[in-house]
Amino acid sequence: MSVQPAPPRAAVPSTTVFKDDLFKGKVLFCTGGHSGICKEMTRALMKHGADAYIVGRKLEKGLTAARELSAATGRKCFFSQVDVRKPDTLKEAVNKCIAEFGRIDYVIAGAAGNFLAPISRISENAFKTVIDIDILGSYNTLKATLPYIRETRGSILFVSATLHFRGLQYQSHVSAAKAGIDALNAVVAVEEGPRGIRSNIISPGPIAGTEGVDRLTPKGQMDKANRIVPLQRLGQFGDVTNATIFLFSEAANWVTGQIFVVDGGEHHTTTSLLPYPDSVLNSEQTDGMIKARA
């Protein structure tokens, strides 16, 4: 008789675990907060009492997200159009956040870019683009907000990944970038720890409903994507947001310099969603499996 996997456990709402007013009076500054995982991380902090300032490249999407987050949580949320590769636009947004709220307690450096392509088929500029958005963008975010989180003895969370823990085909650009962010985090923890600042990484695995999973899961591979996760499902936003709340909360006040993986155990498995070694020997054969840019 064949043994079937146990039914997967769903993420629980944060309000069933954490106090409603956990972050009352606190302010979050979040890059990439107008969409995907970072938007849900912002929503989670706001649901627990924080106000927020979110930044991103898309003006209409950002303004709509800020309005929606405010309406859904009853907290204040503002948006500025920012490209994290441009330090001046970031500093301007931080100044506006300070003018509005007078403080920053928590920072999420989450803006990122990705696509599936082997080294032989991405240009030098494409590789640099992802390095610039992910590493320089994270550094620029840190640099612009650090004076303010020093004042509040605040906390920063960089959004990384797990794909660089091993050599994953078609992800050279992002692997190099995320490894750099992980390294940066360790130094921030050491340099800023004596000032009371905590710096950590949150590394989500594949989260359902994100642009990442939608675009980066090869066509026809969604079922397999679920099955190769030891906990037998893709992540849900709640899995990441619950971990975010923990890491920003006082419950984590002796946790710094860490890489906090939320992936249902996925990075411990070795199964690839792309056929190997065919995907690297004859990469044109995978073209039909890869979704085009939106």
Q: Which of 26, 39, 47, 178 is catalytic?
A: 178
- Which is nearer to ligand COA, 195 or 291 (by Cβ)? 291
What is the layout of strands, in order, in the sheet containing 27-31? 77-81, 51-56, 27-31, 106-109, 155-159, 198-204, 259-262
The answer to whether 73 and 44 have CB atoms below 8 angstroms apart is no
Stretch that binds ligand COA, among 44-52, 113-121, 190-198, 220-228 (CB under 6 A): 113-121
Residue 138 is among the residues annotated as catalytic for this protein = no
Verify binding: residue 16, ligand COA, rule CB under 6 A.
no
Q: Which of 160, 175, 279, 283 is catalytic?
A: 160
Distance CA 185, CA 289 (A): 34
Verify binding: residue 33, ligand COA, rule CB under 6 A.
no
Q: Name residues whose C-beta falls within 8 Å of residue 27's C-beta, 6 or more positions apart in sequence.
A: 50, 51, 52, 53, 97, 101, 102, 103, 104, 105, 106
Distance CA 95, CA 103 (A): 10
Residue 131 Cβ vs ligand COA, minimum distance, rounded to whole Å? 11
Q: How many Å is the Cα radius of gyration of the chain?
A: 19
Distance CA 175, CA 117 (A): 12
The angle subtended at Cα 179 by Cα 137 and Cα 149, nearest 5°, is 45
Verify binding: residue 172, ligand COA, rule CB under 6 A.
no
Is residue 121 classed as helix, strand or coil in its secondary structure?
A: helix
- Which is nearer to ligand COA, 20 or 211 (by Cβ)? 211
Size of the residue set binding ligand COA (CB under 6 A): 15
Binds ligand COA by CB under 6 A, chosen from 11, 63, 126, 131? 126
Stretch that binds ligand COA, among 111-119, 244-252, 259-267, 273-281 (CB under 6 A): 111-119
Contact string (CB under 6 A) for ligand COA, positions 211-230, x = contact: xx------------------
Contacts to ligand COA from residues 46-105, by CB under 6 A: none
What burial letters (b/e) apply to 250-278, b meaning 16+ CB within 10 Å? eebeeebbbbbbbbbebbeeeebbbeeee
Distance CA 194, CA 126 (A): 38
Verify binding: residue 125, ligand COA, rule CB under 6 A.
yes
Stretch that binds ligand COA, among 86-94, 119-127, 137-145, 197-205 (CB under 6 A): 119-127
- Whose CB is nearest to ligand COA? 113
Residue 178 is among the residues annotated as catalytic for this protein = yes
Residue 264 Cβ vs ligand COA, minimum distance, rounded to whole Å? 18
Binds ligand COA by CB under 6 A, chosen from 14, 31, 114, 155? 114
Report which DSSP code applies to 23: T
Verify binding: residue 23, ligand COA, rule CB under 6 A.
no
Distance CA 48, CA 51 (A): 9
Instruction: Name the helix (H) or strand (E) containing 81.
Output: strand 77-81
Which residues are at the interface with ligand COA (CB under 6 A)? 112-115, 117, 122-123, 125-126, 129-130, 133, 211-212, 293
Residues with catalytic function: 160, 178
